[in-house]
Amino acid sequence: MAPPAEGPADLVVVGLGHVGLPLARSASAAGLRVLGLDVSARVASGLGAGRSHVGGVSDADVTAMLGQDFRASTDPEIVCGARTVVLCVPTGLVADGGPDLAQVEAATSEVATRIGPGTLVVLESTSYPGTTEEVVRPLLEKGSGLVAGQDFALAYSPQRIDPGNRKWGVENTPKIVSGYTTDCARRAVAFYSPFVKDIVLAKGTREAEMAKLLENTYRYVNIALVDEVALYCRQSGIDVWDVLHCAGTKPFGFGRFVPGPGVGGHCIPVDPRYLAAEAERQGFSFRLLDAARQVVDAMPGHVARRALGLLDEHGVRRDGARVLLLGVTYKPDVADIRETPARGVATVLAESGALVTYHDPYVDRFHVGGTALPRATGLDEALTSADLVILLQPHACYDLGALGRLDRPLLDTRGAVTGRFVTTL
């Protein structure tokens, strides 16, 4: 790994994952002197050698960043003297499904002892309303001995990264920006403006935090709606995909969502739980979220039971049946298995005695319940040896026409394949 550049940085990005690395790339391309801090030595050394670990950021992008004096490190001392520090660390769920801010708190505490007067600190990690002012601010003030809004600036700007989306990125996706004070907001707008086209100024940090949760909760609820519509249509003998096509032709008042085996990724399965947990703490119940969660959480099991029913229909014993999962990432054409519904599908199938394998060009290893699922490397051979194929993600590499011509049952969870032996949700 190349040594850190001499002197303080214009920007230190804390957390070089799916959010932090694209931000660092955009800021570096705009001429800012950027350093990156990550807890992973593997990530830091890989970036130092010009290797990207994030989809959407190429090795060539990283090489260009290095040429602009970008350096990645595991040493928090690189924060010292930085004009701006942006926290892009993950937020997840604890065992009982509640918010897990451990990485935000740890990163904030590390940063706090190394910021100085005039530093701008921005939180981009997704969390519930109040996190910036009630969690991050006290930690920064305690560790630094400085006062937010007076000695240093504090802001919140929710990330809007969509992995695999080639149309919308950091530069052209409108950026919500908020500040602890009016001057903090002004500082944050000035920081993002050189490399983000459109800035949307929120009234305050709570409004910006809530806006992020609303964006993904909106998707969560509507996905649950079309999932349940799909289940009803199947029971009633209605083609749900034709229904969605017809409804989607309305040029106003209808946003198209599609059913599937469940939701995955960092945002959709997690963010609504942050909202529900914070609301519950305040004595408010999001009844619609509870209903949506019941539907969404049940979808992987529904897909697995549907698959087992197909085995029965085709006279194949469940015990020992060879089932092939196509695409185990949480969305097409991304190398990301966070919260993927494929795990739930595989778990139910395996518990029923099926021999489950998977094919996915983006995933070298896939664990289910602590056990590595066998990976098929040759697609043609895997298809011809399977008793049942389940299409979970229609990666671009899959020939959908060829899948439709298979002479064995195929369960299509995405409405992408037609054929004699094809069954949809």
Q: Which residues are known catalytic residues?
A: 267
User: Could you give the CA distance from residue 162 to residue 346 in angstroms, rounded to a whole number?
Assistant: 26
**What is the DSSP code (8-state) at residue 136?**
I
Which DSSP string do the residues of 227-254 spell out, in sequence order? HHHHHHHHHHT--HHHHHHHHTT-SSS-
Report residue 205 as tokens: 């940090």
HSE at residue 216, side-chain half, CA atoms within 13 A, is: 26
Give the max Cα distance, the chain.
73
d(CA 151, CA 145): 9
Beta-sheet strand order (sheet of 11-14): 71-73, 34-37, 11-14, 84-87, 120-123, 153-156, 175-179, 199-201
Q: Return the SS3 of 205.
A: helix
User: What stretches of 68-101 show up as alpha helix (H) in DSSP?
Assistant: none
Contact assessment for residue 127 and residue 88, using Cβ atoms and an 8 Å cutoff = no
User: With helix as H, strand as E and coil as C, how does 12-24 read?
Assistant: EEECCCCCHHHHH
